[in-house]
Amino acid sequence: MWDRNQMAARAALELQDGWYVNLGIGIPTLVSNYIPKGIEVTLQSENGMLGMGPFPISGQEDPDLINAGKQTITELPQTAYFDSAQSFGMIRGGKIAMAILGAMEVSQEGDLANWMIPGKLVKGMGGAMDLVAGVGRVVVVMDHTSKHGESKLLTACTLPLTGKAVVDRIITNLGVLDVIEGGLKLLELADGVTEAELRAATQAHIVN
């Protein structure tokens, strides 16, 4: 089974040279620490930053430099800053090649629920709805099951949707699955995980 860092490292393998990429809150933020050698990607943040650097070393944080999840980050020599209108213009205009996002639920149709749980405090939905509608490819990185052991890969989402049929690939602590016609296709198993274990933890239909 993969831990958070191993999931982020696997997600980093999805990056392609020259891409502009948006990393969501949670595990996806760790992807910036695992960008493969020889791959140049430009990380974009909804709050108006293009060209985010790695996370700062403890004690060297700049409180004025934060990502959309309010985490302190670093800048690069080529970093550009702009307002939210320009940032969302990039997202809605299809300029961002891929978004790597967290999720609470994903359906076998590629529906994504990642912005609220009814009855619980919601800080805001951020840029997720715009991202899933505007970027070329959406990869979800999340735990396969909830804290209560219930599958987060479902035949149909139960939570309010962020977008319908928007997810292309799902990377969990148990493995990697693609959303295809008819359900999910198992591509890869995490270290030490059997196919039977992954299937038992998946409510959604696996086609292969």
Bridge pairing between strands 105-107 and 112-113: antiparallel
Residue 160, pLDDT > 90, answer yes
Indicate yes or no: pTM above 0.75.
yes
- Please state the rounded mean pLDDT for residues 80-85: 94
> Which pLDDT score, from 0 to 100, does residue 71 have?
86
Mean pLDDT throughout 143-171? 97
Stretch 90-100: mean pLDDT:
96
Looking at 14, 46, 105, 109, which residue is catalytic?
46
| Interval 121-149 mean pLDDT | 90
| Other CB atoms within 10 Å distance of the CB of residue 193 | 18
> Is the separation of the CB atoms in 188 and 22 below 8 Å?
no
Q: What are phi and psi of 33, to 5 degrees?
A: -85, -5
Report pLDDT for 101.
96
> Given this model, what pLDDT does residue 2 score?
98
Q: Is 195 a catalytic residue?
A: no
Rounded-to-integer distance, Cα 71 and Cα 38, Å: 26
The mean pLDDT of the chain is 93
* Position 69 pLDDT exceeds 90: no
Q: Which residues lie closer than 8 Å to 130 by C-beta, 6 or more apart?
A: 46, 88, 91, 92
Residue 19 reports pLDDT greater than 90: yes
Q: What is the mean pLDDT of residues 120-128?
A: 77
**What is the pLDDT, as a whole number, of residue 117?**
82
Q: Which helix (H) or strand (E) holds 200?
A: helix 195-200
**Mean pLDDT, to the nearest integer, of 139-160?**
97
Cβ contact 173:9 at 8 Å: no
What average pLDDT does range 68-89 have in this prediction? 91
The backbone torsions φ and ψ at residue 92, rounded to the nearest 5 degrees and listed phi first, read -70, -25
